[in-house]
Structure formats: C-alpha cells, structure tokens
Amino acid sequence: MIRPIAQRALVLDTPRLRLRPWAAEDEDLCLDLLCDPAVMRFVGQALTEAEARAHMPNALRRGAGGRLGIWCVLDRATGEKIGDGVLTPVPIETEAPDWAQLVPDAYPEVEIEVGYLLKPGAWGQGFATEICDRLLRFAFQQTALAQVVACTDPVNRASQNVLRKCGMRDCGPARAYASDVAWFEITRAEWRAQASNQ
C-alpha cells in the first residue's frame, strides 16, 4: 500500500513555472493542446473537441498515491496556462496509455515516461527543459521509480535535445505508441550522479 502524498507536495515550482496536478477547470488547456495540429505534430493527430473532452477523465487520474499523472504548467509571472507535463505509463503497441494502470495505491508494472506539451507561444523559451528537469527531480526524490523513460518522434530533434539536456541517455530506436520512436532513459543512480555534479 502506497501512502498518498500531500497535495501541496504535488505543486512543483521552477524559476519561471508552476506545475500543479491537472484539474477539471483545465479543460480549456486540454482543448488548446490536443486540438492544435501544430502542438500535436510529433505526437499524433490533432483531436476533435469531442475527443479532447472525452480525454479529460484520463487527464484527472493520479497513480501511486498521487505521484504519477498529468500536471498543468503555468507561467509564474502571468498565471497563464502554457502546457502540461506528465509522468505516465508509456504504451508500446497501442496509441494511448492504459489509463487504468494509474491507480491510487500502486505503481504500474510498466515503464513510466516523462513528457510535455506546450502551446506554440511558449516554444523556444526553454520551458520544456524546465518541465522535464523538474519532473525528473520529483520522480527521483518523491517516488519509488528506479528509472524514467521518454520517447519522441524520430525526427523531433528539438525534444531529443531537451531530453539530452536533462541527462537522459539516447537508447536509439524503439517501439512506443504503436510506432517507431527515439527512446531515452535515465536511472535514479544516473540522475543522482548528475545532480551531485551540479
């Protein structure tokens, strides 16, 4: 049995951003991200509004005592919702995570990935690196995860550079989301070694 983590411990700050657990009032952000072809270019087809709304119950799920799930990302200076960050199960031969694996009192028996989506107006400002770095720190300081993975479209060099900046190893081609991806990993030991050198 996993003890729930205090809600305030799930609010994660960086110098410029605040990550807080996804909430019902974030449906506007869900639509902004998932229905925008530019945002979805490397992660699948843009959804219709109805499909994006149908995703909301999944976005609200938390696993492992609240430690896994989706965070809404806000610009601390303006309060604007600019994107999301995730620690969620990575699917291999399906196009979407098995959200039923996110249960309150257990860790899924699959790899957990770090990821992010940003509105186009937030691109190119280093926010993706801040999100990824903060979620990895949370994962290795506040969860029992021994490893976190990430995957990108093979041609998404910008996201691959973000993952490298955050200390993740490029493990080459792999399968995830029922397609060929570039696969990255970092272990708790690797993260600790890098953190101690900063």
Query: Domain segments of the chain: what residues?
Result: 7-196
Instruction: Please name the amino acid found at residue 71.
Output: W
Tens of pLDDT, residue by residue over 43-82, are 989 999 999 999 999 999 999 999 999 999 999 999 999 9
Level-2 CATH architecture, domain 7-196 = 3-Layer(aba) Sandwich (3.40)
Residue whose pair of structure tokens reads 């860790």 in the numeric block: 107
Smallest CA-to-CA distance from 50 within 79, 75, 30 is with 30
Residue whose pair of structure tokens reads 């029992």 in the numeric block: 144
Smallest CA-to-CA distance from 12 within 127, 134, 195, 112 is with 134
**To the nearest 10°, the Cα dihedral for 187, 188, 192, 198?**
50
What does pLDDT average to over the chain? 95
pLDDT value at residue 110: 94
Instruction: Please name the amino acid found at residue 4.
Output: P
Q: What phi and psi, each to the nearest 5 degrees, are found at residue 157?
A: -65, -35
Tens of pLDDT, residue by residue over 183-198, are 999 999 999 999 888 7
Tens of pLDDT, residue by residue over 108-147, are 999 999 999 999 999 999 999 999 999 999 999 999 999 9
Average pLDDT of the residues in 10-22: 97
DSSP secondary structure code for residue 43 in this structure: T
